[in-house]
Amino acid sequence: PYMSYWSGGYNGEPSEFIINLHKLSAHYAEKTFGEIHFITDSKSLPFFEKIKVSSISTELDSLDIEYGSVWALSKLYVYKLLAEKNIPFIHIDYDVFLMGGLDKSFLSSPIFAQSIETNINEFYDIELFKKNCPNLHDLINPNINHAYNVGIFGGHDVKFIADYANKAINIVLDNDNKDFMINDKTLNDIYWRKSVILEQYYLAVLLEKYNKNITLLLKGETWDVIKKEAKNKGYIHLLSMKGDNQIINKINDMVKRYKL
């Protein structure tokens, strides 16, 4: 089990609430696995040194802060780093809480993720991305209109995961794409769109290309069904709810109560 944080991403220097999210997520991960490992950068390290983790390292120092708006770059780098070391892993986002644990059968899968996202062409603005990104590599598959939410992601097929992560990183860092990745605002200036296309949509594209299967924790295809499944499994992914004042207060209270 791994978590990560990059100060170059859109959150920058972590606030007390962001730190508390990490504390609580790490708490439930440690209860599930008996360990949790953390990858960050030197600038963020002082904020996370007191979190109860099995190890903490600063490999994200190697990332170029110029690309901070493409925040998924850090997660892709972690996937690449672990897979190339031949380490089967699960990466857990800091707003994911494994209150109900995870089944061993799920964790033994070659490739796994949280859930599917359907009918995403308009939601992600993929056509605008395709129109404005100078070098798409093999990113776009017109037959794919879904993506995979990677609130949790990983598996044992480290060869595929390394290839996927490397290819996605190469699209970001392609010199022809630099201005688009860093400066282009054509995706309605919504900060998450480039990242979810590169991380979540591209995962679906490559799974299709290489005829790979993926195991999903939550098997529904609509958010209503997915939310019911998540509740039954004791699985929480806050997503946009992170900005809700009631949620913020609840998280802060739980961190105090658990003395994290």
CA atoms within 13 A on the CB side of 31: 12
**Residue 237, strand partner residues:** 96
In residues, how long is the chain? 260
The pLDDT score that the predictor gives to residue 10 is: 80
* 3-state class (DSSP) for residue 77: helix
Residue 34 Cα distances to 27, 101, 130, 209, 240, angstroms: 10, 11, 43, 36, 29
The pLDDT tens digits along the chain (260 residues) read 999 999 998 888 999 999 999 999 999 999 999 999 999 999 999 999 889 899 999 999 999 999 998 999 999 999 999 999 999 999 999 999 999 999 999 999 999 999 999 999 888 999 999 999 999 999 999 999 999 999 999 999 999 999 999 999 999 999 999 999 999 888 766 778 999 999 999 999 999 999 999 999 999 999 899 999 999 999 999 988 888 899 999 999 999 999 99
Give the Å distances, CA to CA, from 92 to 86, 103, 153. Answer: 18, 15, 7
Q: Name the pTM for this structure.
A: 0.96
Sequence letter at residue 116: I
pLDDT on residue 50: 85
The closest alpha carbon to 75, from 28, 117, 122, 113, belongs to 113
Cα 92–Cα 95–Cα 97 angle in degrees, nearest 5: 70
For residue 135, the model assigns a pLDDT of: 97
Contact 16, 48 (CB under 8 A): no
